[in-house]
Structure 1
Amino acid sequence: MRQKVLALYLANSALDSVVVGWSLWDGTGETRRMAGDEDAPPYPTGLHALRDGWRLIQVSPLLPHAKGEEFDLAYLKYEFLFEQIVETGA
């Protein structure tokens, strides 16, 4: 058994909002790509990942920006971490 971890960065805090960034780490060794190797994310929303069997394991806390920093784009605020446990032949 091996773990795959998928980080989806969504447009807002709703799980059905669109994916604006993503990363995938594959503990099975099946794929070696990271975000940016493909133009499109693996799912259009976080809800699609749930429907495909990914388990949601973490949601970023909703923290307000400090006054004057409401439009700071230094990081992607709405991160959702998913995992799949995959059986391998090894």
Structure 2
Amino acid sequence: MSAPVVRQQVLVLYLSTSALDSEVVGWARYDGTGRTSPTTGDSDEPPYRTGVAALCDGWRLIQASPLIPPYPGHEYDVSFLKHEFFFERLVNVS
């Protein structure tokens, strides 16, 4: 009997604030199972409303971006989405 083959799925959620229960404003998914690609199944609706909702669905939080205050005079500059949270889920593919 062979052991199950496990692959990682990664979900990146960009939230409106640093709070895990704030609204999702952007996202990306990466599927190590090979069942989907990052460009398939895209939707205008986020996969979860908040980061907490992803936790409730079995995703594990593995990284949250550090909070970095803006430099004086640059508080309203447009830049990258700074409230980035990485989640993972391990899936059996055998």
How many correspondences in the alignment?
89
Give the structure 2 partner of residue 6 of structure 1. Answer: 11
Runs ≥4 residues deviating over 3 A: 33-36
- Distance in structure 1 (CA, Å) of the matches to 2:40 and 2:78: 19
SS in 1 for 2:52: helix
Give the structure 2 partner of residue 37 of structure 1. Answer: 42
User: What displacement does 1:71 show?
Assistant: 1.2
TM, length-normalised to structure 2: 0.89
Radius of gyration: which is bigger?
Answer: 2
Question: Closer, same or farther in 2 for the Cα pair 1:14/1:36, shift >3 Å?
Answer: farther
Q: CA RMSD in A?
A: 1.5
TM, length-normalised to structure 1: 0.93
SS in 1 for 2:14: strand
Q: Is the 8 A contact 1:23 1:35 kept in 2?
A: no
Moved more, 36-45 or 48-57: 36-45
Question: What are the superposed Cα offsets for residues 40-61 of structure 1, whole Å, 9 maximum, x if unpaired?
Answer: 1100000000000000000000
Question: Closer, same or farther in 2 for the Cα pair 1:9/1:87, shift >3 Å?
Answer: same
Alignment equivalent of 2:73, drawn from 63, 68, 71: 68
